[in-house]
Chains A and B, each alone.
Chain A
Amino acid sequence: MFRTVLRRELLHNLYSLRFLISLALLIAVFTAGAVSFVRSHAADMEKFRETRGQYLENMRALAGRNASELAVRRQTYTLAPQTSGFIADAKEKYLPNALVYSAWNVFSFQNRSGSANPFLEKFDELSWTFISALVLSFVALLFTFDAVAGEKEAKTLALSLANSVSRGTILAAKLASAVLSVLAIALAGVLTSLLIVVALGSEGLSAPLAAEVLGFLPVAGLLAATFAAFGLLASVISRNSNVSLLLALSFWLVFAVVIPNSSTFLAKTLFPIDSAETIQKNVDAAFDDLNKNAPPGSWMMNSGNPFLPQHELRANLQTKRLAAEKGIRDAYYQSMFLQFERTRLVTSVSPVALFEVLTEAVTGGGYLRFRKAWTDMRVYQEQFLSFFKALDAADKGSPHWFNPSENVSTTRLPVAFEKVPQFEERPMSFADRVGPVLRYLLINVFVLGAVYFLAFVLFVRYDVR
């Protein structure tokens, strides 16, 4: 019986005007998004190649000068533009996308100036995620807002239930048909977009990209199901389709527009962190303390004489300063990560916010990507430091007084750039992607289940006459 009802509902949806208009709209928007991505990605890659070339050239020059200079000079490693940004850009152009490091520390992260135009109001890339979050969720509501109330008005609901079909079966079939209809539209859009990106772009369709595309579809299905369940709920709450439409639209406005756009306010109100000025004051206070307690002559320096005895004191002081600042700043960065993650968790009451987190995991981009690069960079920095210390140990002309900030009392021999370990961002594994977002997936399934259950309970009590 379920299949019969599902078939009827599905055909009803597929022959409807809303399906045709939604299909045309989605294909148009997916096409616009793909064309836009191909052009902007090519330009971004060109800028990135310039930046990366400059970065390598700079490091090569330092290595040619001397190893200590290479070790102490801060470098800025920029993350490459994401090739699967057309699936989920994860707002990477607004996130920190560059890591500042030396052999001694990973200092900070930043959003490279020029990543986003400050004169242009913030906007979402026309990625599959954005289109789905905005348009597909809306279309899912359009397919369901009058599923019950509309049939009641048309007097077909009572007729249906006069047959030997349970209310549960009808509701489940309505949900399934709405999800399948929305997915059919999404699939058309996705294929169109993929075709354009593969045909016009320079990347081609690789196996990881194909896996990401396949991973996107079930997540989009989950989004469609959640909004379809909201639509059904609106439909069973009200007695006529006008009211259910307004309720569904209100749900949509709150969950797709208001909650995701209240995150900054929620973050600052619920999870405040110290200001950058306070942290700087703490760092300055720690430096003052170290300076006061440093032995006399700790700041003496003679760049022409590495073996000047005071250079050892200077190296010790600089090492302590680095450790003190690192302790304060790393704790601050942790508070930033926590603020961001907690805010995401709070806003996960919105299926759209959940969907964005899940698609970010599918493509391995955005915040997850940054966190992995941040962790990997720290591992690399340790390797880089070990490499430098080994070089220094081999140089008999070095006093071996490690100074993390200055090229004063360590080896001054040049090093072949090819031998210097390089940081390369590694792609995210399946575990890296799924692990951090598993709870969001469970929340989404729970929200879907809860909304559908509520709709079911109300439908069981619904006066179909």
Chain B
Amino acid sequence: MIATLAKKEFLTNLVAPRFVIGFVLCLVLIPFSLLINISGYRERVAQYRIDHEAAEKAADEVRVYSFLRPEIVLPPEPLAVFGKGVSDQVGNRVRILLGDKPLLAEGKTAAGDNPFLASFFSVDFVDIAAIVFSLLALIFSYDAFSREKEDGTLKLQMANKLGRSTALAGKLLGILATLLPVVAFSFLLGGLLILFSRDVPFAAGEWGRIALLFGASLVYLAVFVFLGLLVSTRSRSSVTSLVVCLLLWVVLVFVVPAVSSNFAGSFFAASSRDNLDRVLKDIDKQRDDAISAAFKAQGIPEGYSCWWCWNDADGRMETYGNPREEFEKFRRRAAVSEPIRLEYADKKWAPAKAYLDSLARQARAAERLSFLSPTGLFRTAAAALCRTDLAAHERRMELARRYRETFVAWLRGKQIFSSFRWITPADPAAFKTEDELVTLRTGGEFKTARELEDWASKQTDARAHWIKVSQVKVAGDRPDDFPFLDVSDMPRFEARAAALSEAGPAGLWVMLLLIEAVFLFYAGYVAFIRYDVR
């Protein structure tokens, strides 16, 4: 009997205009959202290649260890084609520094090169699925009983030897059987677009996650079907049921997620970034003072002069062509300053982590509040399945921080901070005295630095000293005289995507969705048992 009822319901729905319009909606919106996101993915891959190449080049083209600052460039997530989550906002580049632990990733966001485009929002497959599937579920279920009651066919049915449970089961199966092909078709279409696009690399793991997303979509669909049935059994007319269902749809799909984010923003305030920057700046100042104090304690003078030197933030220093004693001064400075820099990086991490935690707390509050709606649960589960949720990002950043520790340990293992190789590729055995350098550079015209100074002080052209010492090019005076550093033994960052077996949290959210579905089904069942069919 259930099969007969389900078949009747299925065939009735199949010939209804709402099926055709619903199907056309999916046919238009699903490919549209996927094509937009495939295009976005291609753009991100192109940018990734540029960034990755630049990072590799930068790592390969250093001559001293001091300038070695690996940059991690994370590849774009192929599953973001289905659900972007926060992947478009969090950046994909992490620079490994000595003075700071990685805080936030950098890199272009979805807005690309134009920051004004950041004010435009975008939708993806998951968003469209959340909107359209729920709408279809309600459109097919809002009048399941109220319409039949109005037509008088419900009491006719119930006058036969037909249990209410059987009638309800038949109705439900009929509706689900109508909607199942629509959902399956949407995923099939999505899969085909991925296959035909060729440049979105989907392996078995990715297909497995899409299969799980399909399962989650079915549960989500069921929640709204049961909700529609519940409203239908509690309404006197199909018009009332329709109005209630549609307003519920707007509330659950659009309003609750928006209210959740707003309330999280207002009631779970994130720490001020400006404040963090000020705190970090203060710690940097303390660090610089500690370095100066250490220099003083060890008798290292603050000032220095060099023939060719380039220094940059985070203690980067590269120098050439100096007298032996100047090189030694630089070596001693680094041996003192870099361990202190590392020590203060740990101190800076405490406020930085507190800031990160406040951001994460706010985001999680928005997520949890959105669980008031099945759409919030579905989108959270989908982002987890697509590896584009906050947890996936935090996992990647944690790996980046661990990589920094490995990198620092590798540097320490080489005892590189107290080595000349930290600041220059020149061989210490070939270092010369200042007088030897003056003699070489002036082609023997001056024998000592003192002699040259005395001569220069009598000249009117301030460039006189410089012109004299530039007469003869001495090997080792410039970076080009040295090959790039061989860093083949440097540990490399390995990004490992979470395996299918690690989709635990998504399973939890789907389970919650399932509980919601069971609850709504039960409520609908009870309501139908008590329903006045006359």
Contact = CB atoms under 8 A, between A and B. Distances in A.
B499 interface: no
A119 B17 contact: no
Contacts of A21: 243-244, 247
Interface string A239-282: 00011011101100100011011111101110001111100000
Contacts of B25: 250, 253
Interface string A150-189: 0000000000000000000000000000000000000000
A273 B113 contact: yes
A153 B254 CA distance: 31
Contacts of A18: 243, 247
A277 B246 CA distance: 48
A273 B114 contact: yes
Given A29-B259, A134-B250, A114 B274 contact: yes
Interface string B404-438: 00000000000000000000000000000000000
Nearest to B51: A277
B292 interface: no
Nearest to B463: A297
A94 interface: yes
B40 A265 contact: yes
A118 B243 contact: no
A94 B119 contact: yes
A343 to B, nearest CB: 7
A465 interface: no
Nearest to B242: A245
Contacts of A337: 116
B274 A47 contact: yes
Contacts of B21: 243, 246-247, 250
B216 interface: no
B270 interface: yes
Contacts of B86: 118-121
Contact of B462 (A94, A120, A296, A302): A302
Interface stretch (A30-38, A315-323, A438-446): A30-38
Given A126-B258, A134-B254, A35 B266 contact: yes
B255 A135 contact: yes
B273 A114 contact: yes
Contact of B29 (A138, A253, A265): A253
A264 B111 contact: yes
Nearest to A256: B254
Contacts of A297: 463
A258 B254 contact: no
B146 interface: no
Contacts of B89: 118-119, 121-122
A250 B135 CA distance: 10
Given A258-B32, A276-B113, A114 B272 contact: yes
Contacts of A114: 270, 272-274
A264 B90 contact: no
B476 interface: no
A36 B18 contact: no
A371 to B, nearest CB: 10
Given A43-B269, A95-B115, A50 B40 contact: no
A159 B468 CA distance: 108
A285 to B, nearest CB: 17
Interface stretch (B60-68, B177-185, B355-363, B514-522): B355-363
Given A336-B116, A343-B120, A269 B29 contact: no
Contact of A118 (B40, B251, B359): B359
Contact of B131 (A47, A113, A135, A253): A253
Interface centre among B108, B135, B139, B273, by most chain A C-beta atoms within 10 angstroms, is B273
Contacts of B259: 29, 32, 36, 126
A43 B112 CA distance: 29
B366 interface: yes
A263 B360 CA distance: 28
A130 B278 CA distance: 35
Contact of B360 (A32, A91, A119): A119
A291 interface: no
Interface residues of B, number: 76
A125 B85 CA distance: 19
Tell me what chain A mostly uses at the interface: helix, strand, loop, or mixed: helix
B267 interface: yes
Interface in B12-40: 16-18, 21-22, 25, 29, 32, 36, 39-40
Contact of B261 (A123, A142, A340): A123
Nearest to B276: A114
Interface in B257-289: 257-259, 261-267, 269-270, 272-275, 278
Contacts of B360: 119
A118 B239 CA distance: 43
A269 B240 CA distance: 44
A111 B366 contact: no
A339 interface: yes
B87 to A, nearest CB: 10
A123 B247 contact: no
A384 interface: no
A246 B18 contact: yes
A172 B432 CA distance: 96
A29 B390 CA distance: 27
Contacts of A135: 250, 254-255
A197 to B, nearest CB: 13
Given A50-B274, A50-B275, A261 B123 contact: yes
A117 B269 CA distance: 10
Nearest to A38: B266
A231 to B, nearest CB: 12
Given A47-B274, A250-B25, A32 B115 contact: no
B495 interface: no
B168 interface: no
Interface in B99-143: 104, 108, 110-123, 127, 131-132, 135, 139
Interface string B464-478: 000000000000000
Contacts of A90: 119
Contacts of B258: 123-124, 126, 130, 134
Contacts of B396: none
B398 interface: no
B123 A257 contact: yes
B50 interface: yes
A25 interface: yes
B43 interface: yes
B257 A138 contact: no
A300 B115 contact: no
Interface in A126-146: 126, 130, 134-135, 138, 142
A269 B40 CA distance: 10
A340 B114 contact: yes
B447 interface: no
26 contacts: A21-B244, A36-B262, A47-B274, A94-B119, A119-B363, A120-B86, A120-B366, A121-B261, A121-B363, A134-B250, A135-B255, A138-B246, A138-B250, A142-B246, A238-B17, A242-B17, A243-B21, A258-B32, A260-B121, A262-B36, A264-B111, A268-B112, A297-B463, A300-B463, A309-B462, A367-B116
Question: Which 4 residue pairs spanning A and B have beta carbons closest together?
Answer: A114-B273, A123-B261, A263-B120, A119-B363
Interface of A: 17-18, 21-22, 25, 29, 32-33, 35-37, 39-40, 43, 47, 50-51, 54, 90-91, 94-96, 109-114, 117-126, 130, 134-135, 138, 142, 238, 242-243, 245-247, 249-250, 253, 257-258, 260-265, 267-269, 273-277, 296-297, 300, 302, 308-310, 336-337, 339-340, 343, 366-367
Interface of B: 16-18, 21-22, 25, 29, 32, 36, 39-40, 43, 50, 85-86, 89-91, 104, 108, 110-123, 127, 131-132, 135, 139, 239-240, 242-244, 246-247, 250-251, 254-255, 257-259, 261-267, 269-270, 272-275, 278, 359-360, 362-363, 366, 390, 393, 462-463
Given A54-B274, A120-B362, A263-B117, 9 more contacts: A95-B119, A114-B272, A121-B86, A253-B25, A253-B135, A265-B40, A273-B113, A339-B114, A367-B116
